Amino acid sequence: MEVVFLMVTGLCDDEEVVRNVVINHLKYAGPKTPLHITRYFPAYQYMEKPTPIDSMERAYKLARREGIEYVYLGNVPGHPYEHTYCPKCGHVLIKRYGVMIVRYKITGRNSCPYCGEKIPIIGKYCRELT
């Protein structure tokens, strides 16, 4: 299971809302369940500006500081917070660019190759056949 939080400008991007999302995430989903903080872009009838990246970075840091081990920023291609980091040693385990995996460094036993931390991931990585 993973949780997605669409951080919408002017609606759910203030610190109080983010703090409530983080607290409830920890309470109901737990620290090992990934939290994806996704960037809003104007669409249909709600035309606020896209979520500022600095607001998303503050939300990311709050979630990590409070104990969520796997936090990601979405809809921000190339941002360092879209990668998977080992919660114990901090090495990049899965490097992404948008929805593409650029590098995968989790062992066959689903652990960090640098410190041995067990990584709660399901499935095996395989490159798409071309």
pLDDT of residue 127: 63
Strand segments (E) across the chain? 3-7, 35-39, 71-74, 84-85, 92-97, 100-104
Residue 110: C-alpha distances to residues 86, 100, 107 (Å): 11, 20, 5
pLDDT in tens, 57-101: 999 999 999 999 999 999 999 999 999 999 999 999 999 999 899
**Between 46 and 36, residue with greater pLDDT:** 36
Residues 6/59, Cβ–Cβ less than 8 Å: no
d(CA 113, CA 101): 18
Helix pair 15-28, 53-66: axis angle to 10 deg: 40
pLDDT of residue 130: 44
**Between 76 and 130, residue with greater pLDDT:** 76
**Between 71 and 44, residue with greater pLDDT:** 71
